Structure 1
Amino acid sequence: MHPIAFSLFKSSPPATIRLITALLIFAITGCSIQPTAIHLEVTQQEKNCLNFFDQLDASISTLTFFEASVQRVDDYPIYRSDRFLASFSNQKLTPQEHIAWKKSLHKNAITAYQQEIARLPKNTNLPLPFNQSSVLSNIYQCTTNLKSYFLKKETNAPLNTARLQIKDNYSATARFFGIYPLSQWLAQPSMKNYQKEMTARYLKGQRKNSRKILYQPKTRKTLDIQFIQRTLANAYANNALHIPVLNSLDEQALLAHFSPNLSLEKTNSSDNIGSPEWGPNKKITVNTQKPSAYTFITYTRLNGQVLIQLNYGFWFPERPTQSSFDIYAGMLDGIIWRVTLDIQGKPFFYDSIHQCGCYHKVFLPQDVSYNTTNNTNESPLFFSINNVVLDSTHPVTLNIDSSSHYIVGISQPHSSLRSSLRPSLRSKSTKKTETIPYELSNYTSLSQLPTKNRRKSLFEKDGIIEQSARKERWFLWPLGVVNAGAMRQKGRHAIAFIGRRHFDDAFLWEKFDIKKSAW
């Protein structure tokens, strides 16, 4: 025994007991000792603002729900995170980069609050700290007044990865009880067959003599490539993280410029795009008299750069039954078309999913390569579009199959199809092709659709549309995707059954080594 330890037991019993007790207390608590926390002195105005946020969040939680497309940040009501912004949380940022990052987190919070407030009953009473009539103006004012408070708070509760990491859209419980190591192995042959089938369907294309509908944006103002380059260059230069954040007018201009045409095979009433609405029977319908694309901006990180992505969501009334036992059929259907621009503002590549997160397809120009060596089990389907002359002044046309609404081809028509359409125009250009204009709408409107008494989201609090549930979920649940086949909100799209992958993963394309031949 160590001499010091031995001498302890030679002391008087009471003294020994006291010393041992003290040592035990120190041993138990020593590991949990934290650096001295900075005491946050709060002014009365700050107290009022903190109480306002507490009451606002309590009202949202009780009377509606928080937006599932972004994630709340514990202890920071003025911020909301997403996968892209969370990807910066483990980096060492300069003070200027940190400010730019927090500005984007705050922009997320403002956008989410706007949607949540719109869904609150009109008679909701909140303790507004300022005389402004709107809740949103109080959010802006309180954010300014709490700036110093939250800066101090970062010392005790830093904005780190643990606080900002986004929960994935897979159920660990389902994978546990579904014996995932075995079930994912059993699913691999089916996944490979699916890839072969979908590739064959794409290569086959649309039926030659089928009736078609051509949807075009109602207004498309073609932008000069120099204007696009200048706009993006300014956006990159004005952000410390080199995120090309655009103002709303420039966003709308880019979204309109790159908006696609849709050539749809028409065999039934499901083959028309429209606007989701809440009906009087509390059921969601798609109003095909109001064709729309629901647009939003995202970003991706690739080869040390941040690239802007233009997203277009389209909705169909249903995916009709095509066999006696069709596990993929059900109410509501849709696709998301995404255009990733390079830093010069030219289309880098395209990809798409259905609104369920299924059928991820990537469309690459001839000068873009990829590598699936590390993702052999279930990679997206990659298609070359060498036959398409990618001119950024011409729109891309998506050739879409009937009923299943699969994209089965990409083309770029002549400029004769690019002319702007009058709002009332519904003309038949040929016996088999009808031309219909569609509107560009903000994706956020889907979270605040009008009903008889108040506004209501298309999505549930988990970001899923329960009404769109598919039978396939009963077969695929062991693979962990919650309610597989159901339509869901942006930010909630799991896009792989084997492994974990999300449509909004900030480093998605680095996993497939996407690059231009010149890089």
Structure 2
Amino acid sequence: MLFFSEAGIRALLALLTLVLLSACASAPQPLAALSCDDAYIALEELAVQRGISLGEPRRVHGFPSLGTNRGLASFDPGLLTPRQRGDWLARLQAAGVERRRLLKNMLRDSAVHRPLPSELTGFDFQSCDRQDPMAVDDPVLDWDVLVDALKVDDDYVTFRRALGLYPLSSIFAGLGIESLQSSIHDSYALPLNQIPRYGRLRRYSLASPAQTAKSKQNRAATLDGIGRDSLGLRLDLESAAALRDLFVRHAPTVEIDELGPYDIPGEPYFDENGSPGVAIESASAYRYASLMPFAGELHLQLNYVFWFDQRPSTAAMDSLSGALDGLVWRVTLDSSGEVLLYDSIHPCGCYQQFFLSDRVEARAENAKLREPPLIPQRAPSTDGPVLRISSGSHYLQRVYASSSEVADGVANRSYELVNYSGLYSLDSVEGPRSLFDTNGIVPGTERGERFYLWPMGIRSPGAMRERGRQPTAFVGRRHFDDADLFDKLFKRVQR
């Protein structure tokens, strides 16, 4: 029989207590004890651990339930009425719900390869998301802290501009931009039938059987079905049907000088080596809606993104060529649902062009900008215009009404509209993954121009980018989704 002294018994009890405490500390946290904010933060941290990034909507540090973007961050709560502040907070929460929906889909898709932690698998996110937004009169809410947390950093790397002697190097970049814009103006001055062609012209229009019938009746589609609050137009689930109709009504026809498979719009994917490509079995355009403040009100924007497999090389050292290319076509509508203006970029943020209706004009101050907006022609008075696109470079060469001019010998094909959020969950050998990396760049689409344009401060110039991460100016700072973009460059014409 073993005998213990009193001191030995106390030591043994202390050891047992320590073991029990350690076991409790290492046990999984009960699901019931996980708060909504804890779950939101855990979801964000897991996404970071797995290299998953989402640029739209953005995360709001310190406010786990909210999401933001450049438009939402542009509101000044000090200039809003109490009701408007409440609606603004509701929009921020709705953006948070949308962000978590996308993140959960991205994380859930990879569950086969890396299962989710149990505390997130069984957590009721929907119950949390249904909670009322924070109250305007909440004494805990610090408006200054919130406004600061909502800010969206620009996509320029300032220290690169410092190292690259930006004040000097931007002069040479500006000269190159001036030359490019001059050549584009010259191209638009040519009659349509004199634009150089190197292959067969092929037209892609939104013309599947269901959409064809619907498009005829949707020529009268308006903004009546789009949600509204005290701030103006609002994008929500109730707006989905009206948005679908408007996307059909304003869908462009793309007329491409087709010389090779790289001129066929399709669906991005990753091959067995993890390199990006575009499947062309079915032509597609990726759509998403956005809101842009202009002249004192929010305007609905319809975004159509066409992807191409590559921009092929045309010389031994072509610094602009590389994997993937594309065209983004944006339609900005007025309060009656009519076109206010069009604009376009490539997914890299490059080659932005504006096409203004007769209700918008450029500001005279633009002439003083070192990189002024490129306005090669007026917008045609039509829904769903034809976009003439060059072979290989996929430059936009003309925008015209389909009924006004029709090129001879054009082959026709249709394309389908696909939700942009599908780009966040593409198949790969490692399981579904986002097309974009943590910097919002499509990996493997780097261009040679990055070696001489890095002093402009743009990370990997020429590479394909995610929405919300597209700088559009080499000289100065502009983004495709800047909330003050239109107000800075244009003004409404009073009629």
TM-score (norm 1): 0.80
Structure 1 residues not aligned, in runs of 5+:
1-43, 418-428
**Aligned-pair RMSD on alpha carbons?**
2.6
Other-structure match for 1:396: 385
Query: Does 1:214 pair with 2:200?
Result: no
Find the aligned partners of 2:60 and 2:159 in 1 and give their Cα distance: 24
Q: What is the percent sequence identity of the aligned residues?
A: 28
Find the aligned partners of 1:472 and 1:89 in 2 and give their Cα distance: 38
1:452 CA displacement: 4.2
1:117 CA displacement: 1.8
Distance 1:289 1:158, change over 3 A: same
Other-structure match for 1:281: 273
Query: Does 1:464 pair with 2:441?
Result: yes
Query: Does 1:197 pair with 2:191?
Result: no
1:447 CA displacement: 0.7
* Contact 1:399/1:407 (<8 A) preserved: yes
Q: Any idea what the Cα deviations from partners look like across 1:214-243, whole Å, max 9, x if unmatched?
A: 1011324234565415335xx3xx311012
Equivalences for 1:25-40 in 2 at 5 Å?
A: none
User: Which shifted more, 272-281 or 55-64?
Assistant: 55-64
* Contact 1:366/1:384 (<8 A) preserved: no
Structure 1 residue matching 2:72: 3-state secondary structure: helix
* Contact 1:397/1:412 (<8 A) preserved: yes
Q: Any idea what the Cα deviations from partners look like across 1:346-401, whole Å, max 9, x if unmatched?
A: 01110000010000000123443212524531022103336x3x134xx2110111
Distance 1:124 1:378, change over 3 A: same
Equivalences for 1:151-190 in 2 at 5 Å?
A: 152=138, 154-156=140-142, 158=144, 160-190=146-176
Give the alignment partner of residue 230 of structure 1, picking from 209, 216, 224. Answer: 224
Equivalences for 1:92-171 in 2 at 5 Å?
A: 92-120=79-107, 121-122=110-111, 123-128=115-120, 138-144=124-130, 152=138, 154-156=140-142, 158=144, 160-171=146-157
Find the aligned partners of 1:252 and 1:134 in 2 and give their Cα distance: 33
* Contact 1:276/1:284 (<8 A) preserved: yes
Other-structure match for 2:416: 439
* Contact 2:106/2:425 (<8 A) preserved: yes
1:413 CA displacement: 1.6
Give the alignment partner of residue 451 of structure 1, picking from 428, 440, 446. Answer: 428
Tell me the amino acid that sits aligned with residue 391 of structure 1. Answer: T
Q: Any idea what the Cα deviations from partners look like across 1:92-126, whole Å, max 9, x if unmatched?
A: 32232122212222222222222222222322124
Give the alignment partner of residue 240 of structure 1, picking from 203, 226, 230. Answer: 230
* Contact 1:52/1:126 (<8 A) preserved: no
Find the aligned partners of 1:77 and 1:501 in 2 and give their Cα distance: 28
Structure 1 residue matching 2:229: 3-state secondary structure: coil
Structure 2 residue matching 1:273: 3-state secondary structure: coil
Tell me the amino acid that sits aligned with residue 441 of structure 1. Answer: V
Q: Any idea what the Cα deviations from partners look like across 1:245-281, whole Å, max 9, x if unmatched?
A: 3521111111111110000001122111100012222
Other-structure match for 1:381: 374
Give the alignment partner of residue 334 of structure 1, picking from 326, 330, 334. Answer: 326
1:71 CA displacement: 2.1
* Contact 1:316/1:334 (<8 A) preserved: yes
1:454 CA displacement: 2.6
Distance 1:356 1:279, change over 3 A: same
Other-structure match for 1:473: 450
Structure 1 residue matching 2:330: 3-state secondary structure: strand
Q: Any idea what the Cα deviations from partners look like across 1:31-76, whole Å, max 9, x if unmatched?
A: xxxxxxxxxxxxx968533332232222212123231233211111
* Contact 2:293/2:484 (<8 A) preserved: yes
Distance 1:255 1:153, change over 3 A: farther
Tell me the amino acid that sits aligned with residue 225 of structure 2. Answer: T
Structure 2 residue matching 1:57: 3-state secondary structure: helix
Q: Any idea what the Cα deviations from partners look like across 1:379-431, whole Å, max 9, x if unmatched?
A: 22103336x3x134xx21101111110111111123999xxxxxxxxxxx97x
Give the alignment partner of residue 482 of structure 2, picking from 471, 486, 505. Answer: 505
Distance 1:286 1:224, change over 3 A: closer
Distance 1:348 1:147, change over 3 A: closer
Structure 2 residues not aligned, in runs of 5+:
1-30
Give the alignment partner of residue 309 of structure 1, picking from 280, 297, 301. Answer: 301
Query: Does 1:88 pair with 2:44?
Result: no
Find the aligned partners of 1:63 and 1:283 in 2 and give their Cα distance: 19
Structure 2 residue matching 1:117: 3-state secondary structure: helix
Other-structure match for 1:27: none
Give the alignment partner of residue 487 of structure 1, picking from 455, 459, 464. Answer: 464
1:144 CA displacement: 4.3
Distance 1:156 1:356, change over 3 A: same
* Contact 1:83/1:506 (<8 A) preserved: yes
Find the aligned partners of 1:98 and 1:152 in 2 and give their Cα distance: 12
* Contact 2:274/2:428 (<8 A) preserved: no
Query: Does 1:406 pair with 2:395?
Result: yes
Find the aligned partners of 2:241 and 2:225 in 1 and give their Cα distance: 11
Find the aligned partners of 1:45 and 1:151 in 2 and give their Cα distance: 29
Structure 2 residue matching 1:200: 3-state secondary structure: helix
Tell me the amino acid that sits aligned with residue 370 of structure 2. Answer: N
User: Which shifted more, 71-80 or 221-230?
Assistant: 221-230
Aligned length: 449
TM-score (norm 2): 0.84
Distance 1:306 1:150, change over 3 A: closer
* Contact 1:263/1:400 (<8 A) preserved: yes
* Contact 1:60/1:117 (<8 A) preserved: no
Q: Any idea what the Cα deviations from partners look like across 1:452-488, whole Å, max 9, x if unmatched?
A: 4532000001100121100001111111111100000
Other-structure match for 2:357: 365
Query: Does 1:346 pair with 2:338?
Result: yes
Find the aligned partners of 1:154 and 1:180 in 2 and give their Cα distance: 44
Find the aligned partners of 1:501 and 1:90 in 2 and give their Cα distance: 24
1:208 CA displacement: 6.2
